[in-house]
């Protein structure tokens, strides 16, 4: 089975979306990136939250600007009555959603998009890796990369650190799943 990867672009001051979930700033930092290309070739399925799905509907609706296609799983409390083709809507817990996405992805990555969904995966102990493209921009406000009320101390191990012309790529492995389970249970 493949790994679960949170793939995200972040501003230098720690935001993955601007105010009101604005993603237009991201366009300035898309471009040649061998690390992103490497990941794209290894994506087997996407796991996204409802907010990310709603934002995708208002934009072009195509993940990775249309450079990738495949099964997309939407974790939501309100699945639509008539889901669009290519999407599977799941309203169970995150572990079930990850299991479904992993089955579809085979030995490739399940890529998580969206801060809330990624945090749920981290809290459940099912997130394996994080790939952050750090953009040289300060947004000042918006959706934080990671927020956990009460704090956490999740340990990450660097897999690689590379440069592309527009961003710095930081690829990390989650090494303290036991800690995230303890935090979830309040131990």
Q: Where are the domains of the chain?
A: 4-185
DSSP tag of 84:
P
Tokens 């990775």, residue located: 64
Ramachandran angles phi, psi of 172, nearest 5°: -130, 155
At 173 the pLDDT is 96
Residue 57 in this model has a pLDDT that exceeds 80: no
Residue 184 in this model has a pLDDT that exceeds 90: no
At 148 the pLDDT is 81
pLDDT in tens, 159-182: 999 999 999 999 999 997 554 444
At 183 the pLDDT is 47
The H or E element that residue 162 is part of is: strand 156-163
Q: Does domain 4-185 have CATH number 3.40.430.10?
A: yes
């Amino acid at each position: 089975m493949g790994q679960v990867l949170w793939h995200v672009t972040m501003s230098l001051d720690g935001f993955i979306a601007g105010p009101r979930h604005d993603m237009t700033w991201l366009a300035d930092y898309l471009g040649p990136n061998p690390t992103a290309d490497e990941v794209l070739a290894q994506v087997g399925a996407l796991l996204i939250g409802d907010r990310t799905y709603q934002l995708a509907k208002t934009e072009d609706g195509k993940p990775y600007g249309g450079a990738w296609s495949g099964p997309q799983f939407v974790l939501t409390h309100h699945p639509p009555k008539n889901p669009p083709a290519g999407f599977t809507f799941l309203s169970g817990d995150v572990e079930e959603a990850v299991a479904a996405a992993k089955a579809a992805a085979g030995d490739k990555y399940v890529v998580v998009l969206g801060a809330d969904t990624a945090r749920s995966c981290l809290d459940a102990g099912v997130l394996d890796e994080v790939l952050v493209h750090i953009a040289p921009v300060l947004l000042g406000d918006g959706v934080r990369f990671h927020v956990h009320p009460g704090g956490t101390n999740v340990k990450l191990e660097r897999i690689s650190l590379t440069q592309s012309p527009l961003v710095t790529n930081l690829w990390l492995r989650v090494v303290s799943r036991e800690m995230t389970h303890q935090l979830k249970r309040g131990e």
